[in-house]
Structure 1
Amino acid sequence: MFKSSKKVLFTIIALFICTLHGYTQEGVSEPDPGLIGIESAQQSLREVSISKFEDAAFWYGKIGADDGIISVRDKAGSPSEKEAIEGEQETGINEVDEKVLGVRVDFFRRGMVDFYINPIRPLPIEGITKTVSMWVVGRNTRHTLKLIIKDHFGNYAELTMGDLNFSGWKKMVVAIPPNIVQRDYHYNDKMGIQIIGFKVECDLEETYGKYYLYFDDLRAVTDLFAEQNRDADDINDAW
């Protein structure tokens, strides 16, 4: 009788551990845009393309003059696991998607170095942005990639996308937290955020020699419910 009870107890413990492991695996998956910053009873979530990085002329790099030299260029290539945005082909959107943005940094010496990759103009996102994603080649370093955004009131924020300690292409996703103000309810035509660029915080031990980084397919999942239900005859307050 005692041995039978012990077997039942061990079985229950094993099932609990397996269940806990399952929840842990789900916890490291991509954030669910439908559960982020719910501000209304209705949502109209859409995945939209922000930049395909086809032309390096629309981007520039920035690094301290004493830290190194940075250059950007477009390179032929694409991650094999990248999927087309749902509905693009049906609506006749056939953008060229053959290149990626390459970034090269030549470090002068070891140090606490940050460098930036920015568009020549901020990239606005319509609606209420839930997540921002991008495919990245990190070259297996301990550097950290951050997204720089500007909110509705002109305040800047840095959101950590993750460490670059992986090889090959990886889709990196960051959720836009609810404390980022994206809308003023007094004005229905003013909402959303702007992407200012990307910041790479370098690990001290890996700031030497040459470092290569590649970006492709910058996207966002955004709630367009307010945009789609705006009065067409409303007056624009831009005067």
Structure 2
Amino acid sequence: MKRYIIAALLISMAGFVFAQQQDEVGGTNAERLGIESAQQKLKEISVERFEFDGFWRSHMSPDQGYTTTRLFEGSPLGKKPIPEEEGMDIPDRYVLGTRVDYLHRGYSSFTLYPIRPIPIEGITKTISLWVAGRNFDHELHILLQDFFGKSYELYVGKLNFQGWKQLTVAVPPQAPDGRNGIIQRNYHYNNQMGIKIVGFRIDVDPLEALGSYYVYLDDVRAVTDLFAEESRDPDDMIDSW
């Protein structure tokens, strides 16, 4: 009988210690979460509206087909302006269109790219854009460069829908050590941060690589954390010499 009582007491004490540890861990996590939340200033910004003729180009392997890229007047229905930009009379007249003419059926891809990388200020959380993909099973990827110029690509989604649709992709956070993953900030340099968009790649479904294909893009946006951008020391030196 005494053995059962002792065993019950040990189990109870172990449960109490475990619960106390859980509370401590939970409290620590909650405190850390509060600090991280307080040090964020999330804001949606427009990164690229495709308003400048000749700024975007396209490329496809010549043995697979050829591409033509140009601007067209138009705008996706249902696209809402960013509240902070209302009344600022920012040009938003065109969309980017690309036509692909296939030479034969098979695995292929084509790339849309700007003449120079497009930087995104702050620490980017998500990137979105409007796409009219003509209901094909092609796949859209976004091409990025991180803080150190290393190239990455993120899968955005399939283009198997009719009309315009806003697609969104989350940018994975960098590792806590600051050396792995898509690095957007280095603790040595507070005056430099963020990622750059270097293009979009569309991987073609080989069963639908026939004739001509049309795709349209508009209004690339980002949800970004501007806390560090607005908290810089204005008296700091700039390493640009």
**TM-score bin (small chain):** 0.7 to 0.9
- Name the structure 2 match of 1:86: 83
Instruction: Look up the equivalent residue of 2:167 and give its one-letter code.
Output: M
Residues 1:70 and 2:67 aligned together: yes
Alpha-carbon distance in 1 for matches of 2:166, 2:47: 15
- Name the structure 1 match of 2:7: none
> Which deviations, in whole Å up to 9, do the C-alpha atoms of 1:102-153 show, x marking residues without a partner?
1000000011101000011000011100010000001000000000000011
Match of 1:227, SS state, is: helix
Alpha-carbon distance in 1 for matches of 2:78, 2:221: 15
Instruction: Look up the equivalent residue of 1:158 and give its one-letter code.
Output: E
Residues 1:118 and 2:113 aligned together: yes
Cα contact 1:56–1:72 (8 A) shared by 2: no
Residues 75 and 218 of structure 1: CA distance in aligned 2, closer, same or farther (over 3 Å): same
- Name the structure 1 match of 2:152: 157
Count of residues paired in the alignment:
200
The CA deviation at 1:89 is 2.7
Pairwise CA RMSD: 1.3
Q: Given the two structures, how large is their TM-score scaled by the length of structure 2? A: 0.80
- Name the structure 2 match of 1:191: 193
The CA deviation at 1:55 is 2.6
The CA deviation at 1:154 is 1.2
Instruction: Look up the equivalent residue of 1:215 and give its one-letter code.
Output: L
Asked which structure has the greater CA Rg, the reply is 2
Within-5 A mapping of 1:40-189:
41-89=38-86, 93-178=88-173, 179-189=181-191
- Name the structure 2 match of 1:227: 229
Alpha-carbon distance in 1 for matches of 2:119, 2:208: 33
Cα contact 1:102–1:212 (8 A) shared by 2: yes
> Which deviations, in whole Å up to 9, do the C-alpha atoms of 1:180-220 show, x marking residues without a partner?
11000111011100000000011010111000000011111
Alpha-carbon distance in 1 for matches of 2:221, 2:69: 20
Instruction: Look up the equivalent residue of 1:186 and give its one-letter code.
Output: H
- Name the structure 1 match of 2:12: none
- More displaced stretch, 95-104 vs 115-124: 95-104
> Which deviations, in whole Å up to 9, do the C-alpha atoms of 1:20-79 show, x marking residues without a partner?
xxxxxxxxxxxxxxxxxx966410111111111123310000000111110111111101
Alpha-carbon distance in 1 for matches of 2:199, 2:36: 26
The structure 1 segments of at least 4 consecutive aligned residues displaced by more than 6 Å after TM superposition are none
Instruction: Look up the equivalent residue of 1:86 and give its one-letter code.
Output: P
Match of 1:189, SS state, is: strand
Cα contact 1:56–1:101 (8 A) shared by 2: no
